[in-house]
Structure 1
């Protein structure tokens, strides 16, 4: 996996890059401005994932995201931010970002987020997307929690159905319902939310 980390704060940039290189075994390039990042992509070709600091020189808000998406040949480009807000996260994802990653994200979560985004999934921290304070577990039925646990184990709908003596169509319905309740975009996102909220 090839990742480009672009951030004008040296410590942040190098820390994230070093962690991705060691823990995700990624080949990581770095840049301090958007123009430098664009030059690297032009010289080295598209990266599997580009992480762009929202406030670094050259970004001009989400215009920088659009420019990098065009340069990176349609491969995932995500926004990094130290002053994250729900509104900005939603705006970035609506503009085509592969995700919105707070710089305060725990290291393990950073690795998971990078891998999900490189695989084509959309990543947004749960507390940005769903800011209701009630425990998510309380709004899921026991059967939905069973299905969610199966998803987190990487099981297909058919496997979950067999394990709980259900029809596959019923499992599909449960997946759809729990994704709606958790405000998850898909089953992978639901699994990430479940882990973040200690639901399983």
Structure 2
């Protein structure tokens, strides 16, 4: 029975991964909502066969959180999961000793299989993601945003109000409100501030 810790601040992500891992009876999962809780759980209930950390959850500070978890894991595997990080981040994470990198675009079944692969001591990173060409300033999530959504996102990153963004783009305020709602859904962000932080962490410009 594999013992897995899933640390992610989005309930749906944690629960979906746990559901698929526990479906065949081969895994027992624990959950954490941020790095602090993850490290506390590792100390109190470890060792774990694999610790899976969300790259943008509270407390991570980029790859500093990975370093802290690797130090606390006692040599056991620690992997990253992210919906926004670039290939460069993934490569650096692997260079620092991560057991793998899982984009949230992976189907849940593939993601669950990858988790078991990492727990077995292997290194996992999807070839399609690691070999994807990226232009300057482009990130994986940028590809699923429309040009208008990118403009609105840049406004959010400047901490502009809907009214200010609407004025700059010569659009109705209600249209901006709809774009913000769509952006939050696409980026799995809790609110406009979270969306801006996710974009900033991913190197979107």
Name the CA distance, whole Å, in 1 between partners of 2:15 and 2:33: 10
Structure 2 gaps, min length 5: 134-205
CA shift at 1:90, angstroms? 0.6
Q: Which residue pairs with 1:76 in the alignment? A: 77
Between 70-79 and 13-22, the greater mean CA deviation after superposition: 13-22
After TM superposition, what 4+ stretches of structure 1 lie above 2 angstroms from structure 2?
128-132
Q: Partner residue of 1:60?
A: 61
Deviation at 1:3, TM superposition (A): 0.3
TM-score (norm 1): 0.63
Three-state SS of the structure 1 residue aligned to 2:52 is: strand
- Which SS does the other structure have where 2:5 is aligned? strand
Contact between 1:2 and 1:26, CA under 8 Å: does it hold in 2?
Answer: yes
Root-mean-square deviation (CA), in Å?
Answer: 1.4
Consecutive unaligned residues of structure 1, counting only runs of 5 or more, are 133-200
Q: Write out per-residue CA displacement over residues 42-65 of structure 1, whole angstroms, 9 at most, x where no aligned residue.
A: 001210001000000111111100
Q: Which residue is equivalent to 2:186?
A: none
Determine the structure 1 residue equivalent to 2:34. Answer: 33
Deviation at 1:24, TM superposition (A): 6.0
Contact 1:24 1:111 in 2 (8 A): no
Choose between structure 1 and 2 for higher RCO, CA contacts under 8 A separated by at least 6 residues. 2
Matches within 5 A, 1:42-121: 42-121=43-122
Equivalences, count: 132
